[in-house]
Amino acid sequence: MTEIELSEDADVPVALRLRTVRGRPAPAAPFLLEGQVAVGTPTTRRLTAADAGPDDELAGFIAAESARWDYYLTALSCTFVSLEEAELASGWLRITLSGEESTAHSMDPMVLEEFADLSYSIKLVVPLMIESEFGVNGARKRRRTAVEGLYDGTRTPSWLFHGSARAPVHGVQRLRLVVRTPAGLPAEGTIQAGASVRHKRLGLDLFSYTTPLADVPEPLRIRFLPD
């Protein structure tokens, strides 16, 4: 096992747009949702055998894979702010990786009962998997799931954030993953976020908001660049 320090950069506010259906009247909810979702600018680091430190097994794995695959350790965060007049019933964050062979090799966290603080020190074990600070044992006894990782092993890794009647989605969650790309080829990842919102003045109805691809801020486009 080896440990690497990596943290996200400054928060980027994400303005969300109300999802509408063509041919149907637009809902009465506000078209823009601003100031309630932000993403910590992702940072990424290409992993080499030297990063394994004294872990010879991990160094050997990276060296053996280097002819076929590059691996990038990536850190980011997502902030949700629920307001009395606009509660977030749920939220999501998705990274879409370019290229059919680019995948999320390991994601963390995968399951949390509540938002939890993850350290900047990330533990890696063979085969270049993140060793989570939070185990998933006893999953059947969980009271509820607040954070859920989905689509590990695909090119669209995602996290869902669940609220409840008593506890809307609110807080900061640090996220990290290992991305695998074909060796020597650049790749990109595009971050989108969204939320389901309950506007107090509009009753109990939920309204869905998202980030159109054309509106994704430049800092939320990740570049995976080989040396």
Which pTM value belongs to this model? 0.93
Check residue 139 and give its pLDDT: 44
Token code pair at residue 92: 């999501």
- Using the predicted structure, report yes or no on whether residue 64 has a pLDDT greater than 70: yes
Q: Quick one: average pLDDT of 133-161?
A: 81
224 contacts: CB under 8 Å, gap ≥ 6 = 44, 46, 70, 72, 102, 179, 181, 186, 187, 188, 189
- Using the predicted structure, report yes or no on whether residue 181 has a pLDDT greater than 50: yes
Contact 211, 14 (CB under 8 A): yes
- Using the predicted structure, report yes or no on whether residue 187 has a pLDDT greater than 60: yes
- Three-class secondary structure of residue 187 per DSSP: strand
- Using the predicted structure, report yes or no on whether residue 22 has a pLDDT greater than 80: no
What is the distance between the alpha carbons of residues 169 and 34, in angstroms, rounded to a whole number? 15
Mean predicted lDDT score pLDDT of the chain? 93
- Using the predicted structure, report yes or no on whether residue 140 has a pLDDT greater than 80: no
pLDDT digits (tens, 9 = 90+) for 207-223: 999 999 888 999 999 99
Token code pair at residue 222: 């990740």
Q: How confident is the model at residue 138 (pLDDT cuts 50, 70, 90)?
A: very low
